[in-house]
């Protein structure tokens, strides 16, 4: 029994390098993004998403994430921009990296029509995010097979010029974002 335990220990120790993976110092992602907004109707603008990550450790990094989505609905051209920062937790395997991230930042929404003068609306909201995804190694790059983020947004109170509150601050929990694209690694830890 002792010989078997010793043999298993040796086999496990010899096999550890097979689980090693080069961890990049930084990673840059770019890809397609689909946003789902359910406040006051249902919007599904499409656009792009990009992020830069600095990896402190093979399992922990800090990420700056941004995205923009566009849609024309009922004659209004709508633009949505997200800007977020926060930690990312990675589970790295040979050819696959699973990640979970949490962010804080903002969301800017604007809409205008083609009338003269145009009707315009814009809003800045506080934005949180929790999500995750999967990256698969494909040669020198990785393919982000999918990324999902739930984005609860806190809109601020709206007031008239005289200071009268016309709409109270509220949380909109019906915002989510899906994305996929390419991840470029830089450097090694």
Q: What is the residue-wise DSSP string for 122-165?
A: EEEEEEEEEEEEEEEEETTEEEEEEEEEE--EEEPPEE-TT--E
Name the residue among 87, 94, 98 with its Cα closest to residue 145. 98
pTM equals: 0.78
Please name the residues in contact with 1: beta carbons below 8 A apart, sequence gap of 6 or more. Answer: none
Q: What mean pLDDT is predicted for residues 47-73? A: 94
73 domain-assigned: yes
Which of 23-27, 95-99, 144-148, 166-170 shows the lowest mean pLDDT across its residues? 166-170
11 domain-assigned: no
Q: What is the number of structural domains in the chain?
A: 1
Domain that residue 95 falls in: 22-186
172 domain-assigned: yes
Q: Domain containing 75 — which CATH number?
A: 2.40.160.20
Average pLDDT, the chain: 83
32 domain-assigned: yes
5 domain-assigned: no
**Residue 81 token pair:** 């921009």
Biggest CA pair distance of the chain = 87
Q: Is the pLDDT of residue 4 over 60?
A: no
12 domain-assigned: no
109 domain-assigned: yes
15 domain-assigned: no
**Higher pLDDT among residues 142 and 165, named by residue:** 142
């Amino acid at each position: 029994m002792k010989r078997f335990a010793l043999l298993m220990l040796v086999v496990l120790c010899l096999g550890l390098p097979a689980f090693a993976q080069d961890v990049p110092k930084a990673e840059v992602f770019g890809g397609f993004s689909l946003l789902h907004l359910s406040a006051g109707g249902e919007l599904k603008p499409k656009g792009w998403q990009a992020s830069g990550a600095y990896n402190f450790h093979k399992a922990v990094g800090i990420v700056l994430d941004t995205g923009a989505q566009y849609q024309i609905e009922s004659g209004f051209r709508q633009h949505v921009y997200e800007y977020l920062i926060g930690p990312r937790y990675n589970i790295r395997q040979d050819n696959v990296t699973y990640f979970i991230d949490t962010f804080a930042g903002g969301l800017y929404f604007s809409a205008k029509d083609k009338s003269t003068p145009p009707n315009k609306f814009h809003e800045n909201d506080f934005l949180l995010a929790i999500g995750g995804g999967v990256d698969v190694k494909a040669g020198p790059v990785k393919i982000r097979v999918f990324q999902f983020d739930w984005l609860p947004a806190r809109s601020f109170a709206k007031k008239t010029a005289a200071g009268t509150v016309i709409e109270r601050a509220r949380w909109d929990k019906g915002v989510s974002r899906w994305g996929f694209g390419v991840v470029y690694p830089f450097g090694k830890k």
